[in-house]
Amino acid sequence: MAKRKSSLVRSSTKLHKWLGWTGGLALLFFAISGITHPLMTWTGPKAASFFPPQVKVSSEHAAQIPKILKQNKIDRAIMAKIIPSIDGALLQVTQSNKAPRRYFDLATGDEKLNYDQKQAIWLARYYSGLKSTPIKSIAFQTEFSSAYPWVNRLLPVYRVEFETADSKTTFIYTELGALAGMTNNWKTSVQSVFRTFHSWAWLDDFEYARVFLMMLFLLSLLGMAITGIALIFMIKKRSIPDGRRKWHRALSFAIWLPLFLFTASGIYHLLHSSFGDNHRGLKLGQPIDLSASRFGENLSWLEEFKGKAFNSLSLVEGITNGAKTPRLLYRISIPKGKPGQAVSRSKRFKGMATEKQSFYFDALTGEKAKLNDKELNDKDIALYIAKTQLGFSAEQLQQTKLVTHFGPHYDFRNKRLPVWRLDFDTPKGDKLFIDPATGMLVDRLVNLDRYEGYSFSLLHKWNFLAPLIGREKRDIVISVILIAAIGFTFLGYLMLFKRRRSSS
């Protein structure tokens, strides 16, 4: 037994030293770049306004909608809604997600040509707080980039760069009137370090090579961690005169488990994101019929909201009492916060709903829309979208839930709150996150994505600590562990170089 243990110790020692050369390099790459993520999160530029701008809508405005659509021969569109702008209330029409949105003057009915860019600049100034700073550049961006990576989800966006010392840049998604992202020279530089050494984005065009090389580093790091802790438990505690070996052993007790969790979940994340089916991401709704026959003249219902500000007044489809076919509906979005109001970073990461309440009115009759003799609501519309546009049935539905904060299933990357979560009994275990205000499928989560999400959230990002100590202190804990890991690696390399010199 003792002989077998001695042989195992020798084999583990040899393997640990051999893996140390590659594993140590991997640990340096991933630990140093890992620290940049919380650094980027907490030191990057902060929006001056959180809640979107608001608009006041009159019956005269609403009466113009069918006239404008007919005048401009628009009988189908993905989205049509009255939105705020620097020029007051305008009709915004989306006919393709890949093209700029169209805008129409509600007084004259005339189209405001090339206005989407002007809207983006106005929103960029609103969210950044830079009311009079000159614009350095503006571009319509249809692909993700190093400064605006895939985690931001929303496309297309306008990249609006200001003439400031730090080149403050906003990414604006005009469909929602939303700030999709904000950066500056500092954040872009830190983000480049993270993408280069943590996710190896420089090899994105050679995915198999990226996965092969990252797996080589990750597996050597995992093997180094396993053999290292095995040695600690197999070799009896003894006095170690060499200070480097003493500290190396002491640090290994503190970091081996976090290191194992980081690495194992990183491997899972890499393989899943590279080779798993991607169901995630935003998907706009299908075009709806906006022909003149679907509109009526009764707009008296707007008197109930006279003088009140809306997030928007949009057109959606849904089933109502006694209707055999979908009805065209006006949807009123009542805002939750005040325009120009900012919130703390922690509240922004936790998530806050931008809408307080919604109301639906039949576009043809002007009456409040009802279903099963109850007022039509967002859950009804979300179910309608899931059934008619996404192919799910009411029989498959397991539960519905209003999501007003970010969490493990629907995180900060999705940007949009509130949304409705619909769980369906399907072989893949579908969870849909639908925004009734726009008819968007904001995200789709299946079981395989969910399992990987749990692993990444709990084992890699340690989100289980956030409710206990807060996000900022969680980031501090992770950073301290990573700094200790960096010191541990340098000590390991000093020992390896010393052994190599002594053996030569």
| Percent of the residues in the chain that have a pLDDT greater than 90, as a whole number | 61
What is the separation of C-alpha 284 from the centre of its chain, rounded to a whole number of angstroms? 16
Mean pLDDT of 116-132: 97
Please check the confidence at residue 291 and state whether its pLDDT lies above 90.
yes
Residue 5 burial (10 A CB sphere; 0-12, 13-18, 19+): exposed
Long-range contacts of 1-6 (CB under 8 A, 24+ apart): 5/234
Task: Tell me what the mean pLDDT of segment 211-215 comes to.
Answer: 94
Better-scored residue on pLDDT, 21 or 335 = 335
Query: Rounded mean pLDDT of 6-32?
Result: 76
Q: Tokens for 79, please give them.
A: 């989205």
pLDDT at residue 240, as a whole number? 57
Q: What is the pLDDT of residue 11?
A: 62
pLDDT in tens, 237-251: 555 555 566 666 667
Query: Residue 236: is its pLDDT beyond 90?
Result: no
- Greater confidence (11 vs 392) lies with 392
Go through 133-161 and write b for each residue having 16 or more CB atoms within 10 A of its CB, e for each that does not.
Answer: eeeeebeebeebeebbeeebbbbbbbbbb
Mean pLDDT of the chain: 88
- Residue 358's H or E segment, with its range, is strand 355-362
Q: Is the confidence at residue 8, as pLDDT, over 80?
A: no
Query: What pLDDT sits at residue 237?
Result: 59
Q: Is 140 helix (H, G, I), strand (E, B) or coil?
A: strand
**In this model, does residue 500 exceed pLDDT 90?**
no
Output the furthest CA–CA distance in the chain (Å, rounded): 94
Kindly indicate the confidence band of residue 16, based on its pLDDT and cuts at 50, 70 and 90: low
Task: Tell if the pTM clears 0.85, that is, is over it.
Answer: yes
Per-residue pLDDT, averaged over 259-276, amounts to: 91
What is the rounded average pLDDT of the residues 463-489? 90
State mean pLDDT over 40-61.
Answer: 92
Structure confidence at residue 127 (pLDDT): 96
| Residue 9 predicted with pLDDT over 90 | no
- Residue 402: predicted pLDDT: 95
Q: Report the pLDDT averaged over residues 444-451.
A: 91
pLDDT of residue 380 exceeding 70, the answer is yes
